[in-house]
Structure 1
Amino acid sequence: MLRFHECCQNYKDFRKRQEPAVDKLKEPTLDEITSALVGRYGLNFTRQVTASLWFLCKEEASLLDITDQACSLFSPSEITLLEWTDDLEMYILKGYGKSINYRMGMPLLEDVVQSMEQAIMAKEEKHVPGSFEKARLRFAHAETVVPFSCLLGLFLEGSEFDTIQKEIPLAFPLKPPQKRKWRGSIVAPFAGNNMLVLYRCPAPDKARSKHFVQVLHNEHPIPMPGCNGSDFCPFEVFKEKIVAPHRKHDYDTVCNAKLEQKPSGSKIFQILQWFFQLGKGDKYPKDEF
């Protein structure tokens, strides 16, 4: 259930097809920074060397808290651009860039909702404390956390949530210096996590919900566009607005049905076309990955 990305054949096929295209999308930024490094240090840097130095910078900073070695080779603006290329890759291959990225995680969300319904039933039927589940803990990696966050509609503006409900492609994360919500360092940092907490509140009016769901991301309450930007949502509204729209996509259909494939060359052309249009101020992609 947690490693759906390893079981979903259509997702694995999609990722295999798209990884070269994503690399192409990142190349102009890497080339720009490589050129700056060559001019700055007078060494024969290549695109691959730049990518390797960026990887080393991230490893040193995250694991050893060292930022004055590999990271010091880059200027602050270059680091901002390199972070954006990482965010773009995560967005396309794990996030909102393609609906299969998160729809394949629907069985996990269904299991969460079912566990909450069971807890409500146990409480209403006055089961003996200790005879029913109080918490369900699951441990996985970013390949699970990111799609699950997307199922909940996190890190979206209100209008973007409506867009994905209509199955219309979203724009890619905006290139710096423009601001963006989608940041890998926030969406899926080390020890990143999501918590869904079920509350039971007194409700004198039977027409009003007495069960609420609060979503926390990395231990902090986070707004849900599907619940009018609140992190505290009536359980029935949570099921209707956030969970139900995904239920029309059966896991077997999403992951195992044969999908019509377009030639990869045309997709790369579309990506490059979008990239150059972005530089001209067109922020929306012309097609979905």
Structure 2
Amino acid sequence: MAMRIATFLVILLSVFEHSAAGELFNVRQHLSTVSRYGAVKEFADSAFVPSKVPDGCSPIHLNLVARHGTRSPTKKRMRELDNLATHLESLLRDVKEQNLSLKKVPAWLWGWKSPWKGKVTGGELTDVGEIELYHLGIRIRERFPDLFNEEYHPDVFTIKATQVPRASASAVAFGMGLFSGRGSLGPGHQRAFAVTSESRASDILLRFFDCCQNYKDFRKSQEPAVDELKEPIFDEITATLRKRYGLNFTRQDASSLWFLCKQEASLLDITDQACGLFSPSEVALLEWTDDLELFILKGYGKSLNYRMGVPLLKDVFESMAQAIKAKEENYAPGSYEKARLRFAHAETVVPFSCLLGLFLEQSEFKQILREEPLQYPPKPPQKRNWRGSTVAPFAGNNMLVLYSCPANSSSKYFVQVLHNEHPIPMPGCDNSDLCPFEVFKERIVTPHMKHEYSAVCNVKLEKPELKPAMSKLSQLFHWLFSQRNDDTRSLKVDL
């Protein structure tokens, strides 16, 4: 009896291991960037107290940079799962032929086939992904009714997406939620709206990573090193899986099973098969390997990762400057932009978050400004700010809301940053989520403007051009007060 009680306690402890505040461990919240938005969107720093928007302030412009919603596996990943099924079949056959014990083998492994077997396309937005963006659009309209009370016009509510179908489909789903009930189409009174895209070959605003040769070279050179960093974790977990289930798993099997776990939990709501093979502490370690890769190849691990996103930051800041001009000069309603809404990828959202200095401690932000490297995210069970499930889950987003305030407030204009719809501290603004516009410009935007996209991404373009020289101060002054069309044109010429 005592032995049974002890066994029960061990099982109970394993269930609660690495759980938050005593709650049951939920693997759906530990899937790094494969996490579904609904599973993690309520995550926020409980110790952070959001700023109170000063009385009398009203939102006059909103910038959104969002990742596409939940998607199906890519064709390459579906082939990996087919290969896993073949190898699992071989492992089980070996066990039977050697007359080894089958008691440890989970029943679901027998005859398992990939849920995506035979599918010839992949990577598309799922039904869940559509719903994520649709409801995000509804919530944003309800949260900022004064911004979206105007009749739709593409110049007032600009919607942009990359040419990748899951991104443009996400933009459509979002727009259907944002403008639902505002039109005359069908029983939902939908209305048509425009979604524009740049060519993949020249989209340095939303697919800057795809146009940046230096980044592509860096990523290709670093991927083997990242794999080496992850190998000890996978080797340790692979050895444990062999002992636990009596199957001669390889490191590749462990990697593929972890990928299967993420797909089953995120897309199929299945958590008792592939995910059930791993203990909570093993899931935490596997999540950390994904977060480490995200940090090194897309985040703060290399300044190139986010400096190539400067055109996007410039576009965001320019839109706010134009909104201020429209307010100052009393533009007529309907004659100026009120929201700029963008839909792209994790490779877009992560660098943009880094440009804003999100998920950093104050000292780390100062290191970034000094262009010093940061330490890798600490390994579990240590706490870390950098989590893929928070930084860029499916439908993950950053919103920058520009507020106009009364003359008697401390600043005439404020910028509030929301990450996944929650106010988030900015180390560059004294760890506040609400930043005076001039402070936001001086501390967060301007330091990045010395890095030209062409110079960062293509060494050959660093050679001086045969044209009159302009001082950096003059260039910045020219940029701050130039018109939107001129900026857009100059970006295309630089590329």
Q: Structure 1: how far apart are the matches of 2:372 and 2:286?
A: 28
Tell me which of 143, 164, 168 is aligned to 2:347: 143
Give the whole-Å Cα distance in 2 for the aligned partners of 1:65 and 1:132: 44
- Larger relative helix fraction: 1
Asked if 1:256 corresponds to 2:458, the answer is yes
Separation in structure 2 between the aligned mates of residue 112 and residue 209 of structure 1, nearest angstrom: 20
Deviation at 1:203, TM superposition (A): 2.4
Say if 2:230 is the partner of 1:37.
Answer: no
CA distance in 1: counterparts of 2:283 and 2:342, whole angstroms: 33
Q: Select which of 317, 323, 344 maps to 1:113.
A: 317
- Alpha-carbon offset, residue 75 of structure 1: 0.6
Structure 2 residue corresponding to 1:209, chosen from 411, 435, 441: 411
Is 1:230 equivalent to 2:432 in the alignment?
yes
Q: 1:65 maps to which residue? A: 269
2:334 aligns to what?
130
Give the partner amino acid of 2:370: K
Residue 204 of structure 1 and its aligned partner are, at CA, apart by: 2.5
Deviations, residues 61-96 of structure 1 (Å, cap 9, x unaligned): 111111101000001100000000000000000000
Partner SS, residue 48 of structure 1: helix
Structure 1 unaligned segments of length 5 or more: list them.
259-289
What is the 5 A alignment of 1:24-103?
24-103=228-307
Inter-partner Cα distance in structure 1 for 2:237 and 2:436 = 48
Q: TM-score, normalised by structure 2?
A: 0.51
Give the distance between the partners of 1:111 and 1:209, measured in 2 at CA.
Answer: 23
| Alignment-mate amino acid for residue 440 of structure 2 | F
**Which of 363, 369, 383 is the equivalent residue of 1:179?**
383
RMSD: 1.1
Cα distance between partner residues in 1 of 2:300 and 2:269: 31
Aligned to 1:261: none
- Report how many aligned residue pairs link the two structures: 257
Q: Where do 4+ consecutive residues of structure 1 move more than 3 Å?
A: none
Whole-angstrom distance in 1 between the partners of 2:406 and 2:310? 31
- Unpaired runs of 5+ residues, structure 2, are 1-204, 461-495
In the alignment, the residues of structure 1 paired with residue 269 and residue 396 of structure 2 have an alpha-carbon distance, to the nearest angstrom, of: 18
Q: CA deviation at 1:117?
A: 0.5
1:284 corresponding residue in structure 2:
none
> In the alignment, which of 410, 417, 423 is matched to residue 221 of structure 1?
423
In structure 2, the partner of 1:156 is: 360
Q: C-alpha deviations, 1:160-191, integer Å up to 9, x for none?
A: 00010100000000001111000000000111
TM-score by length of 1: 0.87
**1-side partners of 2:378 and 2:269: how far apart?**
28
Structure 2 distance, partners of 1:174, 1:33, is 19
Max radius of gyration: which structure?
Answer: 2
Question: Partners of 1:119 and 1:133 in 2: how far apart?
Answer: 7
**Partner SS state of residue 216, structure 1:** strand
* CA offset digits 1:247-285 (Å, max 9, x no partner): 111111100016xxxxxxxxxxxxxxxxxxxxxxxxxxx
Return the alpha-carbon distance in structure 1 between the equivalents of residues 227 and 366 of structure 2: 30
Structure 2 distance, partners of 1:239, 1:107, is 15
Task: State the match for 2:445 in structure 1.
Answer: 243
Q: Which residue of structure 2 lines up, in the alignment, with residue 280 of structure 1?
A: none
Structure 1 residue matching 2:415: 3-state secondary structure: strand
